[in-house]
Structure 1
Amino acid sequence: MPIYDRNTEGLALVHQFADQVKGRTFLLTGPSPGGIGAETVTSLAAESPALLILVGRSPEKVQTVIDAIKNVNPSVKTKFVQADLSSIKSVRKAAQTILDDPEITKIDVVINNAAVMACPFELTEDKLELQFQANHLGHFILTNKIIPKVIAAGPGARIVNLSSSGHRFTGVRFEDPNFTEPGSYSEFASYGQSKSANILYAVALNKRLASRGIRAYAVHPGSIQTNLQHYVKQMDSAHLAKIMDEAVKKVMGRTLAEQRAADPYKTLQQGCGTTLRAALDPDLVKEEGVFLQNTNLTTDPNEVKEWATDPELAEKLWKLSEDLVGEKFDI
């Protein structure tokens, strides 16, 4: 059995599981140039998928990724679908575009990769807290609406939600997910809530889809320097130092300096490795768990918190999510 660890690279896994790539259709959100999403789809291109569906906000930015895909393999077909995951209207429109497209007969793998991190408090046009909506609720609507095309792919189809070790900061604030309580908002409490939701959503999907041979996983790709740090880089240095130290101590149990020494930044190839194993390895279903980090499934309560895997909380999140977006999904 192959040994997987923090150094396992995405391209190696694409070659290893070439039969799980060739001729299949993949959908990925957030394919920003220089990010894990772009690295994931350009790696997949090496083994000739039938179609790569790229869901993002900016046609210009995604075109850069499409060009990179064509450089790897000119025969790979791509489709761009525009969507702003922080807008219910935009996500519903994108989902309908996918459902109405006769060339998309099935979707073998959905990779919910897009995210924002540690941004200032903001309510969206839908009056929902930005990180919770962009990171969880947008994907909740998109995936649930296009699920008929995932079901059409049959047994072996996968849904992969990108989470984070940041989920260990806090669980879902069921009584106040929008941080309406004065003084309750912090950048990483909001991020942690959304990342816990990504895992709980995978648990809820498995309850609904496992009998069809379709599995959902949540992954922590590791620490990688990408555009995800956009808001962090804009922070006042004193404020940044304070909240980063607080977050790392709460999540990792050590200082930021100790964490960087113990767990250096990964490369993009190492970063997309965990996503691609979750998406491709058919033998994962023989192992226990829903959460992967360093390319391996783990059920260690120190690594994946119970508040992110509890089946009752997963159902509670499903109902909360339906209430917040104003739509019920019978899957």
Structure 2
Amino acid sequence: MQDKTVLITGANDGIGRATAERLAEKGYHLVLACRDETKAQRTADELVRQTGNELIDTIPLDLADLSSVRAASELFLAEHPRLDVLINNAGVYSDKLTLTQDGYELQFGVNHLGHFLLTLNLLPAMQCSNLCTRVINVSSALHAKAGIDFGNLRGERGAQAYDGGKAYAQSKLANVLFTKELDRRHGTELTTNCLHPGVVGTSLANKHGKLLTKTIWSLYKPFARTPKRGADTSVYLASSPEVREVSGRYFNPSQCLVKPSPTACNEQLAGRLWDYSEEAVRDYLL
């Protein structure tokens, strides 16, 4: 598999790290795109030692800063002739209203908007691949509890009205809508699928959560799926020949096709989100 290049966002921790390790074992050429360059390089060095696969590179990527996303895109395109698999894995959760560098609500900005821009900017590398290119978006079953509040994607309603759980669910709905719209627009050039990894014991809720959230999550984590198991469906979608021609679909933690929420299947909503996102990132498109 050394002729296949895979880019994974958020690959230095949690599900991303577990996904990287298993794909490294399969011999893929990996590019770890992470906000913390030191942690990314440490992860790359550890994976080389663990797997014997020396084809592991890193690039700096801060999904909360669209200029960083553009810079990461330019760096990748300059160093790699093609991209065979893009795994939009990185995610953030926050209990309090926080804005990205560009003024968008943090969870929407990182979990959706940054990945939207990265994917569009890397399309040239994916379109030139002579193999079946795959885009994989890590979503969540919580998408079913959300809608898209276009009037509050910049936190317009203020901190007192902010609900971190609803904002997270909204960002995960955006992942599914993006998956379906990307398939409609570019389905002849690549496949794109999304997944729910299960409830996985990562540090997601510990970074920006309130004390109560951190405490509850710390108590629950031992009973959650391990990151290795949480990576099962990402690895399956990235490498299995069974899904080579499957696109625009949503998979559960057992690698089974399931139907997402009715809202996630709304083509008009998906098109509106695409238009909104495209306008939001317009100045950073390559």
2:183 partner letter: N
- Per-residue deviation, 1:239: 10
In the alignment, the residues of structure 1 paired with residue 263 and residue 153 of structure 2 have an alpha-carbon distance, to the nearest angstrom, of: 15
Q: Give the direction of change, closer, same or farther, for the CA distance of 1:67–1:177 in structure 2 (3 Å limit).
A: same
2:132 to 156, 171, 183: 156
Query: Contact 2:140/2:196 (CA < 8 Å) preserved in 1?
Result: yes
1:185 to 153, 162, 168: 162
- Per-residue deviation, 1:72: 2.9
2:83 partner letter: I
1:48 to 19, 27, 38: 27
Q: Give the direction of change, closer, same or farther, for the CA distance of 1:47–1:285 in structure 2 (3 Å limit).
A: closer
**Residue of structure 1 in register with 2:76 after alignment:** 98
Please state whether the residue corresponding to 2:279 is helix, strand or coil. helix
Q: Which has the larger radius of gyration?
A: 1
In the alignment, the residues of structure 2 paired with residue 239 and residue 78 of structure 1 have an alpha-carbon distance, to the nearest angstrom, of: 33
Query: Contact 1:122/1:130 (CA < 8 Å) preserved in 2?
Result: yes
Q: Give the direction of change, closer, same or farther, for the CA distance of 1:76–1:100 in structure 2 (3 Å limit).
A: same
Task: Give 1:212-223 correspondences, 5 Å limit.
Answer: 212=189, 214-223=190-199
**Residue of structure 2 in register with 1:16 after alignment:** none
In the alignment, the residues of structure 2 paired with residue 286 and residue 54 of structure 1 have an alpha-carbon distance, to the nearest angstrom, of: 25
Q: Give the direction of change, closer, same or farther, for the CA distance of 1:76–1:306 in structure 2 (3 Å limit).
A: farther
**Any gaps of 5 or more consecutive residues in structure 1?**
1-20, 245-256
Q: Give the direction of change, closer, same or farther, for the CA distance of 1:210–1:99 in structure 2 (3 Å limit).
A: same
In the alignment, the residues of structure 2 paired with residue 227 and residue 236 of structure 1 have an alpha-carbon distance, to the nearest angstrom, of: 14
In the alignment, the residues of structure 1 paired with residue 148 and residue 58 of structure 2 have an alpha-carbon distance, to the nearest angstrom, of: 32
1:95 partner letter: S
Query: Contact 1:287/1:297 (CA < 8 Å) preserved in 2?
Result: no
In the alignment, the residues of structure 2 paired with residue 240 and residue 190 of structure 1 have an alpha-carbon distance, to the nearest angstrom, of: 20
2:211 to 221, 224, 236: 236
Please state whether the residue corresponding to 2:136 is helix, strand or coil. strand
- Is 1:298 aligned with 2:257? yes
Query: Contact 2:35/2:62 (CA < 8 Å) preserved in 1?
Result: yes
Residue deviations 1:273-298 (CA, integer Å, cap 9, x gap) = 01111222232256686111123343
Query: Contact 1:288/1:299 (CA < 8 Å) preserved in 2?
Result: no
**Residue of structure 2 in register with 1:130 after alignment:** 106
In the alignment, the residues of structure 2 paired with residue 63 and residue 185 of structure 1 have an alpha-carbon distance, to the nearest angstrom, of: 36
**Residue of structure 2 in register with 1:307 after alignment:** 263
Query: Contact 1:167/1:196 (CA < 8 Å) preserved in 2?
Result: yes
Residue deviations 1:14-53 (CA, integer Å, cap 9, x gap) = xxxxxxx4421100000123x110111111111212x211
**Residue of structure 1 in register with 2:187 after alignment:** 210
Q: Give the direction of change, closer, same or farther, for the CA distance of 1:275–1:45 in structure 2 (3 Å limit).
A: same
TM-score for the superposition, normalised by structure 2: 0.90
1:27 partner letter: L
**Residue of structure 2 in register with 1:28 after alignment:** 8
Residue deviations 1:235-277 (CA, integer Å, cap 9, x gap) = 2328976xx9xxxxxxxxxxxx9xx8xxx51122211001111
1:322 partner letter: E
TM-score for the superposition, normalised by structure 1: 0.78
- Per-residue deviation, 1:327: 4.5
1:236 partner letter: L
Please state whether the residue corresponding to 2:75 is helix, strand or coil. helix
Q: Give the direction of change, closer, same or farther, for the CA distance of 1:147–1:227 in structure 2 (3 Å limit).
A: same
In the alignment, the residues of structure 1 paired with residue 88 and residue 109 of structure 2 have an alpha-carbon distance, to the nearest angstrom, of: 13
**Any gaps of 5 or more consecutive residues in structure 2?**
none
**Residue of structure 2 in register with 1:7 after alignment:** none
Percentage of pairs with the same residue? 29
1:270 to 229, 232, 244: 229
Q: Give the direction of change, closer, same or farther, for the CA distance of 1:119–1:67 in structure 2 (3 Å limit).
A: farther
Q: How many residues align?
A: 282
1:129 partner letter: E
- Is 1:61 aligned with 2:39? yes
